Structure 1
Amino acid sequence: MNEPQYAGFWLRFGATIIDSVIFGLILMVPLALIYGESYWIDETMVHGVWDVLLSYVVPFIATLWFWRRFLGTPGKMLLRLRVVDARTGEPLPLGQCVLRYIGYFVSALPLCLGFLWVAFDSRKQGWHDKIGGSVVIVEPREPVRFEGRG
Structure 2
Amino acid sequence: MNTHYHAGFWRRFGAAILDGLIIGIPLAIISLIIFGKGDTLFTNIVSFLYSLLIPIVWNGYTIGKKICGIKIKRLDGMPIGIGTMLLRQLVGGLIYGFTFGIALIVSAFMVGLREDKRAIHDFIAGTVVVHDGEE
TM-score (norm 1): 0.73
Query: Please, which runs of 5 or more residues in structure 2 have no aligned partner?
Result: none
Of the three residues 88, 97, 106, the one matched with 1:100 is 88
Q: Name the SS of the counterpart of 2:88 in structure 1.
A: helix
- Aligned-partner Cα distance in 1 for 2:108–2:96: 6
Instruction: Tell me what 1:148 maps to.
Output: none
Instruction: Tell me what 2:52 maps to.
Output: 64
Q: How many residues align?
A: 126
Of the three residues 100, 112, 129, the one matched with 2:104 is 112
- Structure 1's consecutive aligned runs of 4 or more residues displaced over 6 angstroms after TM superposition are none
- Aligned-partner Cα distance in 2 for 1:82–1:90: 14
Q: How does 1:77-96 map to 2 (within 5 A)?
A: 77-86=66-75, 88-96=76-84
- Aligned-partner Cα distance in 2 for 1:118–1:62: 22
Q: 1:13 Cα deviation (Å)?
A: 0.6
- Aligned-partner Cα distance in 1 for 2:4–2:66: 15
Superposition RMSD in Å: 2.3
Query: Please, which runs of 5 or more residues in structure 1 have no aligned partner?
Result: 41-46, 142-150
Structure showing greater radius of gyration is 1
Q: Please give the per-residue CA displacement for 1:12-42, whole angstroms capped at 9, x wherever unaligned.
A: 0110110010111121011111233xx36xx
Instruction: Tell me what 1:19 maps to.
Output: 19
Instruction: Tell me what 1:10 maps to.
Output: 10
Seen in structure 2, the aligned counterparts of structure 1 residues 72 and 83 have a Cα distance that, compared at 3 Å, is same
- Aligned-partner Cα distance in 2 for 1:34–1:90: 40
Say if 1:85 and 1:92, in contact at 8 Å, map to a contact too: yes
| Identical-residue share of aligned pairs (%) | 28
Seen in structure 2, the aligned counterparts of structure 1 residues 111 and 131 have a Cα distance that, compared at 3 Å, is closer
Q: 1:4 Cα deviation (Å)?
A: 7.0
TM-score (norm 2): 0.81
